[in-house]
Amino acid sequence: MSGLPDIAFPAAGATTDAVSAALAGMARGDADWRGGRVPLFVFGATEDVAQVGRSAFNAYFTENALGGRRAFGSLFRMEQEVLAMCRDLFHGPSTATGTMTSGGTESIVLAVKNCRDWQRARRGDAAHRGNLVLPSTAHPAFEKAASLMDLPIRRVPVAADLRADPVAMAAATDADTILIAGSVPCFPYGVVDPLPALSRLAVERGVWLHVDACVGGFFAPFARELGVTIPPFDFALPGVASLSADLHKFGFCPKPASVVLYRSADLAPGFDFDVWPSGRFATATLVGTRPGGAVAAAWAVLTFLGRPGYRAIAHRLLAMREAYVEGISAIAPLRLHCLPDLSILAFGSEDVNIPALASAMAARGWVPGQVQHPPGLHLMLSLLHEPARERYLHDLTAAVAEVAA
């Protein structure tokens, strides 16, 4: 048994009404993300942002961004403009270049691949199998990259403040280290790693520093403009070789959309094969066909919001986060694992059985995000969660009481 449902390929077609009704029926069983009950996977800003993204996506529903250069010049132009806007946002030099990708994972896999190839060329060793030194909180996308390329990974425990420990990472780095990384912020605890110190380490050792700003790339710059203390984390730091930032997370663009940027084009040769009867095949991405809609929608949302729009959203997100922090802190004996830098919260208590608390929240209709070390509940808050706050805190209070009893 494969575990797949016992369903045959449709022997007859269905009407459009029947298909729509079936879809709506299936969705009825899903978690209520529109009501703010899903603390990961989906992100929302305002309805007009969603509408701008949706209509641009639909306008380019059929076009394929793989054909940007040869057939769909408008998509090629929009992709270049999105990348140029991001280069500006992340203080890239004029030499900086990049690619739009399908998401954080593809952006990270590409950065590791380009790093490996650049390091091999630099070392004159086409078979060099360099290691990656990562904080324990780095996203498993790095493991995917390393497993695809058979590269060893050294995960280094984070410091007491749950941020990457540059001294411990320096100790784990050796002559075969090709890449170190830090997150803005890390997913498990929501704190930003000390990128200035990691940049100094990268420069000293001649290793590639990748900044994983997949979560915070379109939030942290605006939070900083609003006065939140986040140290520099982007190409303003000389050691940063590449940076990933997901448009489909806090960029509030339709999925699938992320960017990976490089300090200069020589760091990102991409793929270029001349091996088959159809001639040369050169792409910067791992995937071939790419939805034109995602490119057009990203261009539309960035253009629609601009800096003031993102700043206004960041302002609302930070105010909402504060209200969640206050509300959660008022529920004894819950405590935050650390103060969040953006809008990821992790909290728990040694006196509360966290898996039981998660089940009690699930029974109340919430999808409970969890973190394991130490055990806690996990929230990645977007504006979808603004109207849900009081209900969430009410149910959390009841769930803690139930579990304690």
Ligand X SMILES: Cc1ncc(COP(=O)(O)O)c(C=O)c1O
Instruction: Specify the residue, 144 or 311, whose C-beta has the smaller distance to ligand X.
Output: 144
Q: Which of residues 335-364 bind ligand X (CB under 6 A)?
A: none
> 307 and 373 in contact (C-beta within 8 Å)?
no
Q: Any contact of residue 369 with ligand X (CB under 6 A)?
A: no
The piece of 101-109, 164-172, 224-232, 309-317 that touches ligand X (CB under 6 A) is 101-109
Which residues, 6+ apart, have CB-to-CB distance to 282 below 8 Å? 270, 271, 272, 273
Q: Could you give the count of Cα atoms lying within 13 Å of 122 in the half-sphere of its Cβ?
A: 14
The piece of 164-172, 201-209, 212-220, 283-291 that touches ligand X (CB under 6 A) is 212-220
Handedness of CA 7, 13, 14, 16 (dihedral sign): positive
Of the candidates 78, 96, 214, 317, which one interacts with ligand X according to CB under 6 A? Answer: 214
Instruction: Specify the residue, 210 or 263, whose C-beta has the smaller distance to ligand X.
Output: 210
> 236 and 79 in contact (C-beta within 8 Å)?
no
Q: Show contacts of 329-338: CB within 8 Å, 24+ apart.
A: 331/393, 331/396, 331/397, 331/400, 334/396, 334/400, 337/162, 337/189, 337/371, 337/374, 337/376, 338/161, 338/162, 338/189, 338/190, 338/191
Q: Any contact of residue 105 with ligand X (CB under 6 A)?
A: yes
Q: Any contact of residue 103 with ligand X (CB under 6 A)?
A: yes
Q: Any contact of residue 246 with ligand X (CB under 6 A)?
A: yes
Q: Any contact of residue 321 with ligand X (CB under 6 A)?
A: no
Q: Any contact of residue 141 with ligand X (CB under 6 A)?
A: yes
- How does strand 279-283 pair with strand 335-336? unpaired
CB of 155 to ligand X, least distance (A): 14
CA–CA distance, 267 with 398 (Å, rounded to integer): 53
Q: Any contact of residue 234 with ligand X (CB under 6 A)?
A: no
| Chain residue at closest Cβ approach to ligand X | 104
The piece of 5-13, 75-83, 209-217, 360-368 that touches ligand X (CB under 6 A) is 209-217
Q: Tell me if residue 391 falls in helix, strand or coil.
A: helix
Q: Which of residues 13-42 bind ligand X (CB under 6 A)?
A: none
Instruction: Specify the residue, 321 or 352, whose C-beta has the smaller distance to ligand X.
Output: 321
Q: Any contact of residue 193 with ligand X (CB under 6 A)?
A: no
- Category of 270 on φ-ψ map: left (φ > 0), alpha (ψ -120 to 50) or beta: left
Q: Any contact of residue 212 with ligand X (CB under 6 A)?
A: yes
The piece of 98-106, 115-123, 124-132, 196-204 that touches ligand X (CB under 6 A) is 98-106
CA–CA distance, 261 with 88 (Å, rounded to integer): 11
Cα 114 to chain centroid, rounded = 19
Q: Which two tokens stand for residue 321?
A: 């986060």
Of the candidates 37, 113, 116, 139, which one interacts with ligand X according to CB under 6 A? Answer: 139
Instruction: Specify the residue, 213 or 352, whose C-beta has the smaller distance to ligand X.
Output: 213
**Residue window 146-185: x/- pattern of binding to ligand X, with contact defined by CB under 6 A:** -------------------------------------x--
Which residues, 6+ apart, have CB-to-CB distance to 172 below 8 Å? 133, 154, 156
Q: Any contact of residue 210 with ligand X (CB under 6 A)?
A: no
CA–CA distance, 246 with 105 (Å, rounded to integer): 10
Of the candidates 53, 98, 104, 221, which one interacts with ligand X according to CB under 6 A? Answer: 104
CA–CA distance, 214 with 182 (Å, rounded to integer): 11
Instruction: Specify the residue, 37 or 248, whose C-beta has the smaller distance to ligand X.
Output: 248
Binding site for ligand X (CB under 6 A): 103-105, 139, 141, 183, 187, 212, 214-215, 246, 258
